[in-house]
Chains A and B, each alone.
Chain A
Amino acid sequence: MEYLYDGTFDGLLTCLYEHVYTEKADDIRVLEENVQLSLGRQMQVKTDLTKSEKVAKAIEKKISPAALRRAYRAYLTAEKGKEMDVLRYVFLGFKLGRDVDRLHGSETVRRIDVLNHKVSWEADRILGILRFSVIEGPDGKDVLYAAIHPNCDLIQSIMPHFLNRFRQDPFIIHDVGREKAGFAKDDEWVMRPLPRDFSPQYTVDEQQYRELWRNYFRTAAIDQRRNPKLQKQFIPTRYWQYLTEMG
């Protein structure tokens, strides 16, 4: 049976629940709008917070809290087939208990390792290469704004890092592709929809500081050590669009 769910993590956990109590899933995909279900082959799974809660608790108890986190991170990637990867991992975990994460030789476990690595790698990179611009807030005070286009869904993983950092300035991190943004002020933040064509007003100093940074970046490279291959290895060209200094 092919499961169609709403794309949320609770939805995915509900699928795992149905996998046990109704017909087995052999594929899980996100339900797209205006698509006709083909009955008998496909099934729409309605997200049910009681069921997802049960599954989450079971994972924490029968496997480990770390396993739940790992499943969640795997879900945050944009990889095809991640839902079935999570399913296989969780059910292998139900069989083996907490030892499942020691089975580095298993394809199922390795796959979850790989997906986890994708998220943490990208989150780590974005922490560094995301660029804030100073824009003018509604009250005339500075607000920091950054646009990102990550593969994985990771606003929530990077917000705390900047909350720790910016005590004075409110800030916004905008996932342009997913059309949502984290808005932070003081010690708190919320996630809100924000359309992709949001275009802020930059302050006068902004251009000058960008110019200074570009200048710094160019000057800092050591000509005798030029190594563009190495540079690309660290920072795939896909991410260059973020970097004020590469332009």
Chain B
Amino acid sequence: MQNFESIMEKLKILTDAAKYDVSCSSSGHERRGQDGHLGSSAAMGICHTWTADGRCVSLLKVLYTNKCVYDCAYCINRRSNDVPRAAFTPRELADLTMEFYRRNYIEGLFLSSAVNGSPDRTLEEICEALRILRSDYGFLGYIHAKLIPGASPEMVQRIGMLADRVSINIELPSRESLAALAPQKTAAGILTPMRQITDAMAEQRSLTGAGNKYSKYRYRPKQLPDSNFALLGEEAPREGRYSTAKMVFRGAGKNLTVRQIDAKMAVKEDRFAPAGQTTQLMVGASGESDRQILALSHALYKNFFLKRVYFSAYIPLMSSPLLPQVGSAVPLTREHRLYQADWLMRFYGFDVSEILDGNDPNLDLQLDPKIAWALRHPEYFPMEINRASPEEILRIPGIGTISAARIVRQRRVAAVTYDDLKRMGVVLKRAKYFITVGGRYYGGGVQQEDLREHLILQSGGQQLDLFAQTDERFLGTKLQIE
């Protein structure tokens, strides 16, 4: 490799500049306790390694450049901040991605960028890098490209055709904070491309004829040919008939990107952002309440059909009178609770108004929002495991989607006993206070009025409390906007 030293230097600068942005290589918190699901991010759901902060690394996450003409208050790359600057060339970035990918370091590329010159000028170069990857190198890995607010419609369209997923970050959960903290960005500059992406995907779904603008050939999924899995004739005799392709795991192809699947099925690969659109909201840089944040994310799912809304705990690195003090605690617990609440809304049938039905506009930092909800609604509990509907069972603390499904499945053939629940993966030390099994209640040891305290202690107790305190102190530094 020529210019090894210079690539090394660029990689260092542009990784460092990109790392505070959580999306996709999701935070450790968010992954925990999700029943092994990776949600819609499953397209790049393979973790290749885990950083020292416990985050899963599946993509090469870098900025194309950190040279920026904007001056957003919260950002380490803002124009007025004195940091080393660098920019890849399209070829350099494409080579790096490809070489990492073939060594199985990564599933693909997660590319964002500062604004070098203008949004479109920067995106033009990014487009070229992606084009080299896709056309010259035949790269079928995953690409998540982050658009820059203010991108032109042509640019959005071109990038959408090359990337699996596109996103444009909202970051600040209200117009007011946007105006205060990122004055060069406008809500329109963010929402217009977002709307365009949503519409392009909807249009793509409705266009099926040959030769439409999204596909030269009509997209028609074919049965995957078996030969893809076939072995060559002879195999080590020890293996007998079960080393043959038949026994190859069903799931072995489950992590393919849409473009890999397209390639296998020999269909034309021109598709607009097949893995959809996401965005990110920053938590704790500005003063919005959890209720505002969750309501916004709910509206985004509903109106823009986003695949995910990511939350990112703001890490106070920049000093500004508008922002929490540098070095103050990072609201990690709050971020975690928001993800839990988001999860409840998407998979457990909860509504924002239920999750935050008390007077407090913020989530309870000490307790999982599901437990908090259950404690506020003693009228629904205890529920009889052998009679409650599947929707009701999902509301019981300590029972996840998998164990709920197991309960319902077994009920059809045999009554569920208390011991069965444990084997089904129910967290009994939590669930037992909210259920009866065959009419019997097993949570007798703890008085109702002590239950909250008991559950808090149980869920990490001391340590979490410590977190909660720092968080509260942090939340005390509410912003004064206007």
Query: What residues of chain A have their CB less than 8 Å away from a CB belonging to chain B?
Result: 6-11, 47, 49, 52-53, 69, 72-73, 99, 102-105, 107, 110, 120, 123-124, 127-134, 144, 146, 156-169, 180, 187-193, 205, 208-209, 211-213, 215-217, 219-231, 233-235, 243-246
**Beta-carbon contacts under 8 Å, B299-318 to A:** 315
Knowing that A69-B247, A209-B99 touch, tell me 20 more A-B residue pairs with CB under 8 angstroms. A8-B242, A10-B242, A103-B410, A103-B414, A107-B423, A123-B249, A131-B103, A131-B105, A160-B228, A160-B249, A191-B235, A208-B1, A219-B12, A219-B16, A219-B19, A220-B57, A224-B330, A227-B54, A230-B28, A230-B53
The residue of chain A having its C-beta at the shortest distance from the C-beta of B14 within the complex is A219
Which residues on the B side are within 8 Å of A212 (C-beta)?
A: 4, 7-8, 11, 96, 100
Question: In the complex, what distance in Å separates the CA atom of A221 from the CA atom of B406?
Answer: 38
Residues of A near B260 (CB, < 8 A) are 164-165
Q: Which residue of chain A lies nearest to B28 when distances are taken between CB atoms in the complex? A: A230
Interface check B396, CB cutoff 8 A: no
CB pair A134 B102 closer than 8 Å:
yes
- Is A190 touching B52 in the complex (CB atoms < 8 A)? no
Q: 8 A–B contact pairs at CB < 8 A?
A: A10-B242, A73-B249, A102-B412, A157-B248, A165-B260, A212-B11, A215-B8, A227-B28
Tell whether, in the assembled complex, residue A245 and residue B49 are in contact, meaning their CB atoms are under 8 Å apart: yes
Given contacts A104-B423, A193-B236, A226-B53, contact A134 B241 (CB under 8 A): no
Number of interface residues of B (CB under 8 A): 80
Shortest Cβ distance from B105 into A: residue:
A213
* Given A160-B248, A180-B236, A213-B100, residue A231 in contact with residue B51 (CB < 8 A): yes
Residues of A within 8 A of B330 (CB): 224-225
Interface flag for B37 (CB, 8 Å): no
Q: Is B255 an interface residue (CB 8 A)?
A: yes
B417 contacts A105, C-beta separation under 8 Å: yes
A161 contacts across to B, CB distance below 8 A = 252-253, 255
B184 at the interface (CB under 8 A from A): no
Q: Which of B1-31 contact A (CB under 8 A)?
A: 1, 4, 7-8, 11-12, 15-16, 19-20, 25, 27-28
What number of A-B contacts does a CB cutoff of 8 Å give?
216
Cβ of B46 within 8 Å of any chain A Cβ, yes or no, is: yes
Contacts of A164 in B (CB 8 A): 228, 253, 256, 260, 264
Give min CB distance, B418 to chain A, whole Å: 10
B47 at the A interface (CB under 8 A)? yes
Residues of chain A with a CB closer than 8 A to B423's CB:
104-105, 107, 110
CB neighbours of B49 from chain A (8 A): 128-129, 217, 235, 243, 245-246
Which B residues contact A (CB, under 8 angstroms)? 1, 4, 7-8, 11-12, 15-16, 19-20, 25, 27-28, 46-58, 60-61, 96, 99-100, 102-105, 138, 140-141, 227-232, 234-236, 238-243, 247-253, 255-256, 260, 263-264, 315, 330, 332, 406, 409-410, 412-414, 416-417, 419-420, 423-424
Q: When A104-B410, A105-B416, A227-B28 are in contact, do A222 and B19 touch as well, CB less than 8 Å?
A: yes
Closest CB in chain A relative to B19 CB, distance in Å? 5
Contacting pair A227 B53 (CB below 8 A): yes
Contact A105 B420 (CB under 8 A): yes
Contact partner, A165, options B50, B105, B140, B406, Cβ 8 Å: B140
Report chain B residues within 8 Å CB of A144.
102-103
Q: Which residue of B lies closest to A155 (CB)?
A: B243
| Nearest CB on A from B54, distance (A) | 3
User: In the bound complex, what is the Cα–Cα distance between A158 and B104 (angstroms)?
Assistant: 13
Contact in complex: A192, B264 (CB < 8 Å): no
* Measured CA separation A124–B238 after assembly (Å): 25
Flag if A104 contacts B58 (CB, 8 Å): no
Question: With A224-B315, A231-B50 in contact, is A105–B229 under 8 Å at CB?
Answer: no
A190 close to B240 (CB less than 8 A): no
Q: Return the chain A residue nearest B250 by Cβ.
A: A69
Q: Given A105-B410, A219-B12, A227-B53, A190–B231 Cβ distance below 8 Å?
A: yes
Whole-angstrom CA separation of A205 from B7 in the bound complex:
13
**List of A residues within 8 angstroms of B419 by Cβ:** 105
A-chain residues with CB within 8 Å of residue B424 when the two chains form the complex:
104-105
